[in-house]
Structures are given as C-alpha cells and as structure tokens.
Amino acid sequence: MGQPTTIAIDGPAGSGKSTLGKLLAEELGYLYFDTGVMYRAVTLGAIRRGIDISDEVQIGQLAEDVHIDVQPPSVDDGRDNDILLDGVDVTWDIRTDIVNQYVSPVSVYAAVRDAMTAQQRRIAQDNKVVMVGRDIGTVVMPDADLKLYLDASIEVRAERRYQELLDRGEPADYDAVLKSLQNRDDIDSNREIAPLKPADDAVVIQSDCMGIEQVLERAKELIRNV
C-alpha cells in the first residue's frame, strides 16, 4: 500500500497522543491536526456572538454556518497550527480561560459534532494528515490508512500531566490532576455520541512503561508495515 496518507490517533486525556501526533507529522511532513481546536473555535464564535452556551439549537446552527480551517503554522510563536474562524486567525484566542470554561458542553452537542466531523473530513481530504482526537478512527476517518489508539493507566497519565505542570512552573496537585482525568474519562467514555473507544482495526499502544521516543519508534514501525 505504501506510506499511509491519513493517520488517526485516538486516546484518553493525558495519554500523550498530541505529542505523538506532532512528532509524527513533523517527521512525515504532514499536517498535524488536533480536532479539539474546532470545538474551541465554535465555542469562541458563540461567546463573541453572545449566544447562550446552553442554547444547543443556536450553537448547532452556528457550527453549521462557520468555516473553520487548520493550516501549518505561519508564525513562529509556539503555535502548532494556524486556526482560522471564517478567515480570521484565532489560534491563541481559542486558548483563553473563558473558552476553556465552556468548550466541554459545546463539544457534546450532536449538531456541533456532526458539523465539525464534516469539516474535519474536508481538511483530511485536502491534506496528508495526522489527526488526533477521541473519535477519529471510529467516526471522523473510519477509512484512515492507519489507526492508533494510545493508552496508559490513569495513574501514569496523571503523573505525566502533574510533571508537565511542574516543569512549566505552574502550581500542581497530583490528586486534583487525577480527579480531573477521572472526570474527563467518564465524560468521554460514556457520552451517547461518539464515545471514546478504540476502533476495531486500531493498533493499541499501551505506553505505561514507554517513553515518548519508544512510542514514536513503535508508531514509525507500524507506518513502515502498513
């Protein structure tokens, strides 16, 4: 078949899927695409238009109407991509505290997920892509050339995230990080629409005893063998 042009990476919060996705995309020269940015962009659009976050109908319509694009970074300011909302660069605007506060409820609305899935597929059709999320192999790109599911125990994921916070000089409490991940796992795995789970044909990489370089080498081995 040759080198895969569409690679799906799913997994729970804190599993390292974003780090793996970025490294793979850089090595392959592909577009790195964390689909979570799209839900953040819709949330930002709703906030800027004064739409009540609990108004599922209006936010669903907004998701249908906006055009979101994800492109390689055009500015060397630490961004992974350019995120465009109706042609306007909102790369850093979608990372603000108010978006963090509201993105979770927005991301579970059925109409929002349907609209974002369509836009994610559009971007995948136009690019060689490493797409990262929680429903990529199962819903967004069920025909992806290679599907990976990166996993680790919740204790290992919590420890990694706790250390990341400390390394950035941010205050951190392991028990609080663990509880936050437990809550996120519960939401992601039990939601009615596109719950988090490995695709039937995904290769599961259990990374409890692996560093990121070992995970990357395992992924590259799988790419070579597609």
Q: pLDDT, tens digit, for every residue of 156-180? A: 999 999 998 899 898 889 999 999 8
pLDDT at 189: 86
**79 DSSP assignment:** -
- Which sign, positive or negative, has the C-alpha torsion 56, 59, 63, 69? negative
CA distances from 205 to 41, 147, 225 (A): 30, 11, 15
* Selection from 145, 119, 115 nearest residue 130 by Cα: 145
CA-based end-to-end distance of the chain: 7
pLDDT at position 2 over 80: no
Q: What dotted CATH number matches 31-127?
A: 3.40.50.300
What pLDDT digit, counting tens, does each position of 89-133 carry?
999 999 998 998 899 889 989 999 999 999 999 999 989 999 999
Cα–Cα distance, 97 to 5 (Å, whole number): 35
Residue 58 dihedral angles phi and psi, to the nearest 5°: -65, -40
Domain with CATH 3.40.50.300 in the chain: 1-15+129-220, 31-127
Query: For 11-25, what is each residue's pLDDT tens digit?
Result: 998 899 999 999 999
Q: Taking the CB of residue 11, how many other CB atoms lie within 10 A of it?
A: 28
pLDDT above 90 for 187 = no
Phi, psi dihedral angles at 130 (to 5 degrees): -110, 105
**pLDDT confidence of residue 1:** 56
Give the DSSP H/E element, type plus range, for residue 157.
helix 154-167
CATH superfamily label, 1-15+129-220: P-loop containing nucleotide triphosphate hydrolases (3.40.50.300)
